């Protein structure tokens, strides 16, 4: 067994997310100039590994999405800014609740939900987006039942 596997700890929660890059003007549910990515974030309840609080979750989000936008070519922005995004919980393939910021209410709801999260620009029309093939594919492939 190599060293990376021997230190592996099974996460308590996996948050499946769909991230869509912010754009100034939302002409349609997804514009050609918006990058997107599906991914997951592990949450550990063991305080030694992860404090399971909002501050740690924000730091994970900032690091994860900051690396994504600065690394991959399909993103126009090269720096992730939490203030430009809203956070949408998805339950059983349907929009659950939208949050304009990462606050305690959001984090409590996320921890008690099926852990499906969309991170999208604040001006994205989520109602129109649920008809988009990208949303449908994400729900089919990644969302927890």
For residues 57 and 63, the answer to whether their CB atoms sit within 8 Å is no
pTM (predicted TM-score): 0.85
| Per-residue pLDDT tens over the stretch 18-48 | 999 988 888 888 888 889 999 988 877 655 5
| Per-residue pLDDT tens over the stretch 80-125 | 899 999 999 998 888 889 999 999 999 989 988 888 999 999 989 9
pLDDT of the residue at 118: 95
Enumerate the domain spans of the chain: 3-142
Order of strands, sheet of 116-121, starting from the edge strand that comes earlier in the sequence = 36-43, 13-20, 116-121, 85-91, 94-99
pLDDT of the residue at 1: 46
């Amino acid at each position: 067994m190599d060293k990376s596997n021997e230190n592996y700890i099974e996460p308590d929660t996996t948050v499946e997310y769909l991230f869509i890059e912010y754009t100034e003007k939302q002409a349609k549910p997804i514009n050609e100039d918006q990058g997107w990515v599906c991914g997951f974030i592990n949450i550990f309840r063991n305080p030694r590994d992860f404090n399971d609080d909002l501050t740690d979750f924000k730091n994970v989000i900032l690091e994860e999405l900051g690396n994504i936008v600065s690394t991959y070519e399909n993103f126009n922005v090269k720096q992730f800014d939490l203030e430009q995004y809203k956070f949408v919980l998805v339950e059983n393939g349907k929009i659950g609740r939208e949050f304009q910021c990462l606050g305690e209410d959001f984090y409590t709801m996320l921890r008690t939900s099926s852990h499906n999260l969309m991170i999208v620009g604040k001006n994205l029309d989520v109602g129109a987006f649920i008809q988009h093939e990208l949303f449908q594919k994400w729900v089919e492939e990644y969302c927890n039942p």
